[in-house]
Amino acid sequence: MGENTTGAAAEFGRFLETHRARVEPLERDMNDAWWEANVSGTPEAEARSGALQKQLVRLYADAETYAWLRSVPARELDGDLARQHALLLNAYIANQMDDATIEELVDTEKEVESAYNNFRAELRGARVSDNRLREILRDSDDVELRREAWEASKRIGEQVEGRVRRLVELRNREARRLGYADYYAMSLSLQELDAAVLFELLDDLRRKTDALWSAYKGALDGDLARRFGTTPDRLRPWHYPDPFFQEAPSGEVDLDAYFRDKDLEALTADFFDAVGLDIRDILRRSDLYEKEGKCQHAFCIHVGRFEDVRVLCNCTPSERWMGTMLHEFGHAVYDKYLGSDLPFFLRDTAHTLTTEAIAMLMGRFSRNAAWLRRYAGVPAGEAARVAASAGAELRAQLLILARWCLVMTHFERDLYRDPGQDLNGLWWRTVETFQGVTPPEGRDKPDWASKIHMALAPVYYHNYLLGEMFASQLQDHLHEHILPRGGTDADLVQSPLVGAYLREKVFAPGARLPWDRLIEHATDEPLNPDHFVRQLSR
């Protein structure tokens, strides 16, 4: 892309060189320290992570540089310079805080992160992992044990509630000082999302899926009532298959059975190899199994914007963790295959929703019949039965995730609008509205704070749902325009055409294009939720 050669462009180009020299080593060291803190959970690692994060925030908090960036005439910039200017201006806006606020905000975030990472629930006198609690909620028919496991999973909320409320207060205070209505509004703006358009899109999706949800939820509640010897109106949160009812229960076929003797790393590598995306170097840098003090969740991190991509998981041989591996390595290949021609500050994904789309697309394959046949070794004689069950389970998962995302987005918007309200009551009203789950009688606990995203990934959850929409759009585009005419799912899960298309059309542009232009560049149409709705109806 050609660049403007005006005085403003030349001056901004010099700034980029100086700024990169300051940012690059600090960003790399901070990400490496954050990784170590999540892997080990030691106070030393957490302290190092916090200190480096403060340094980076202070760099972007510099008021003089922010004022200078605002003074740069954007109309005199074009191409990559204009895009880098817009992204860096947003980065400076997000960090315009005084030193005392930086200290308190980062310290509080690190305290909360440590609490989540080191939390192990107490259940009947024993410390148990998240994986164990999920096993109980998935498999046990003992309703009392299920209730105790569900309640145990929520106790982290009581431990961190005060500090999460303080984070909300600090974030709102700084956003309002900068002229935004609240932190939620500021974050959407800096993510290049229009709040009104976003919630209109979410409302439209809800309307288009209400009938599907009502039918599915009614059938599920009938099944659960029969299983537990009760009636649908007496079902409570612990009757559902995970602590937040964000995952689908197992279908008629137990997909876990196909993974109990499998090496999830090998399956993940084999699949990505087949579609032309090599992940073996990333596997070597990753940390994939449970241990004390380690974060119990899963994530991918790009440590230095170049080759150092890593994944954290807590794998057990199950369909859930197979899907999680595919999901996280979907993020990883996006980071790995960013275009080699990208300037440093554009060596990033186009948007959170676009990297989530790739992760969602890949994560779906653990419930895809063609993928299960090729990689999990489903016998030919079982193929039809597994295909029907896996397809129904995938559709259920997408429906459940959509409703869960509506819970999170609406609750969080209302949280930042008025953090002084009865948040415990607001949480259960929101859950009941969007998921149809009856709250436990008399419960007045900060269950909302037991979700790690509330504290450490604020104003993020809408990107999962937007990502699912884009994932469905990508999948349809692959079938209709990239794979051989009439291409089937068997082609989708093994053709190198898939990787070649994603590398060229989605990964290589990096952050050079805003998210909406990237979607049109990749699929020849704007983001269209109808692809997602049709997938739910198939």
**Residue 145 pLDDT > 60, yes or no?**
yes
Whether residue 87 is found in the same domain as residue 200: no
- Compute the mean pLDDT over every residue in the chain, rounded to the nearest whole number: 96
Residue 4: is its pLDDT beyond 60?
no
Q: Could you report the per-residue pLDDT of 249-282, keeping only the tens digit for each?
A: 989 999 999 999 999 999 999 999 999 999 999 9
User: What pLDDT, on the 0 to 100 scale, is given for residue 3?
Assistant: 46
Query: What average pLDDT score do residues 469-482 get?
Result: 97
Tell me the three state secondary structure of residue 302: strand
Confidence of residue 479 (pLDDT cuts 50, 70, 90): very high
Of the three residues 73, 96, 119, the one that is the final residue of a domain is 96
In a domain, 486, yes or no: yes
Percent of the chain's residues with pLDDT above 70: 99
Q: What is the pLDDT at residue 416? A: 98
% of the chain at pLDDT higher than 90: 97
Confidence of residue 463 (pLDDT cuts 50, 70, 90): very high
Query: pLDDT category, 2, cuts 50, 70, 90?
Result: very low
Q: Are residues 82 and 212 in the same domain?
A: no
Q: φ, ψ for residue 126 (rounded to 5)?
A: -125, 145
For tokens 């952050």, the residue is 511
The answer to whether residues 356 and 503 belong to one domain is: yes
- What residues contact 257, with CB distance under 8 A and at least 6 apart? none
* pLDDT > 60? residue 81: yes
φ and ψ of 320, to 5 deg: -60, -45
Region of residue 442 (phi > 0: left; psi between -120 and 50: alpha; otherwise: beta): left
CATH number at residue 515: 1.10.1370.30
Residue 505 lies in a domain: yes
362 pLDDT higher than 80: yes
Query: Hunting for tokens 């840098």 — which residue is that?
Result: 285
> Which alpha helices (DSSP H) does 303-449 contain, by range?
319-336, 352-363, 369-375, 383-417, 423-435
Reported as half-sphere exposure (CB side, CA atoms, 13 A), residue 77 has a value of 19
Domain that holds residue 1: 1-96
Question: What does R_g of the chain's alpha carbons equal in angstroms?
Answer: 23
Residue with tokens 């990472």: 117
Residue 69 lies in a domain: yes
Q: Give the pLDDT band (50/70/90) at residue 394.
A: very high
Based on the domain organization, do 438 and 326 belong to the same domain? yes
Instruction: State the Cα–Cα distance between residues 243 and 227, nearest whole angstrom.
Output: 18
Q: What integer pLDDT is reported at residue 487 of this predicted model?
A: 81
Asked whether the predicted pLDDT for residue 135 surpasses 80, the reply is yes
Rounded to whole angstroms, how far apart are CA atoms 509 and 342?
8
Residue 373 falls within a domain, yes or no? yes
Instruction: Give the tens place of pLDDT for each residue, 202-259.
Output: 999 999 999 999 999 999 999 999 999 999 999 999 999 999 999 999 899 999 999 9
* Cα–Cα distance list, 533 to 124, 239, 357 (Å): 43, 27, 15
Return the number of other C-beta atoms located less than 10 Å from residue 334's C-beta.
Answer: 28
The residue among 386, 403, 326 whose CA lies nearest residue 361 is: 326
pLDDT of residue 427: 98
- CA dist., res. 120 & res. 242, Å (int): 16
pLDDT at 1: 37
What's the number of domains the chain is made of?
2
Q: Which of 67, 96, 125 is the last residue of a domain?
A: 96
- Final residue in a domain of this structure, among 96, 126, 147: 96
**How many Å separate Cα 191 from the centre of its chain?**
15
Asked if residue 112 is part of any domain, the answer here is no
Mean pLDDT of all residues in 403-416: 98
The three state secondary structure string of 440-471 is CCCCCCCHHHHCHHHHHCCCCCHHHHHHHHHH
pLDDT in tens, 20-68: 999 999 999 999 999 999 999 999 999 999 999 999 999 999 999 999 9
Separation between Cα atoms, residue 103 and residue 58, nearest integer Å: 10
Assess whether 281 and 401 both reside in one domain: yes
Confidence of residue 380 (pLDDT cuts 50, 70, 90): confident
In 3D, which of 114, 129, 59 has the Cα closest to residue 88? 59
pLDDT at res. 326: 98
Same domain? For 222 and 91 the reply is: no
Query: Hey, is 507 helix, strand or coil?
Result: helix
Beta bridge partners of 309: 302
- Say how many residues make up the chain: 538
Tell me if 135 is assigned to some domain.
no
Residue 5: per-residue pLDDT: 57
Dist CA 136 CA 145 (whole Å): 8
Task: Answer whether residue 151 is part of any domain.
Answer: no
Same domain, 208 and 356: yes
83 pLDDT above the threshold of 50? yes
- The answer to whether position 73 is within a domain reads yes
CA angle 407, 408, 414 (to 5 degrees): 90
